[in-house]
Structure 1
Amino acid sequence: MPHTFEDLIALERAAQAAHQQYTAPGVGDLDAARRAWIDAAAAFQAAVTEHAAADDKLSRVEVEMAVKKAVRHGEAEG
């Protein structure tokens, strides 16, 4: 089942949080933090691709940009 727009927002927020952990000063295990960030970002990208494939109105890029805009501007829905 395709991810909802709210699912995509949650996945992008998780990827951003993982990136913040990776770039935080004094991070303990840099390799683990980097892997967590890459895994979170990959999960977001896969979900965006799946969502766009199920939506015949928006391209993959349009879906990704709508989610990123919603996350950056604090919107819960797209």
Structure 2
Amino acid sequence: MAEVPDELIRRERTAEEERAKLAGLTGDAYDAQLRRWREASDAVQAAVTAHAAATGSDPHDVEQAVQKAVRCSQEDPAVE
């Protein structure tokens, strides 16, 4: 996989930030945050699929490259 587009990296970071916000929540607050995380995750998957189709790449390879780019460039947002 060549270069990972900035848009995919931004979307993945947003999804990871939304996931990290789940920590410590319960009840309705947890459910609402879970929905936000799922929406962000769905947006990542849609963007990965579209990018893979546009470039003729394997979606799994694109997803792995995006995750690697994000995780290698920042600390886990759940630890902050």
Q: How high is the TM-score relative to the length of structure 1?
A: 0.81
State the shift of 1:25 in Å: 1.5
Unaligned 5+ segments in structure 1 are none
Name the residue aligned to 1:13.
13
Q: Percent identity?
A: 41
Deviations 1:3-53 (CA, angstroms, capped at 9, x unpaired): x7100000000000000011x214671111000000000000000000000
Which secondary structure state, in structure 2, belongs to the residue aligned with residue 25 of structure 1?
A: coil
Q: Match of 1:47?
A: 47
Deviations 1:43-67 (A, max 9, x none): 00000000000002x2111110000
| Superposed structure 1 runs of 4+ greater than 4 Å apart | none
Q: Which amino acid aligns with 2:69?
A: A
TM-score by length of structure 2 reads 0.80
Amino acid at match of 1:20: A
Identify unmatched segments of 5+ residues in structure 2: 75-80
State the structure with bigger RCO (CA 8 A, min sep 6), 1 or 2: 2
In angstroms, what is the RMSD of aligned CA positions?
1.8
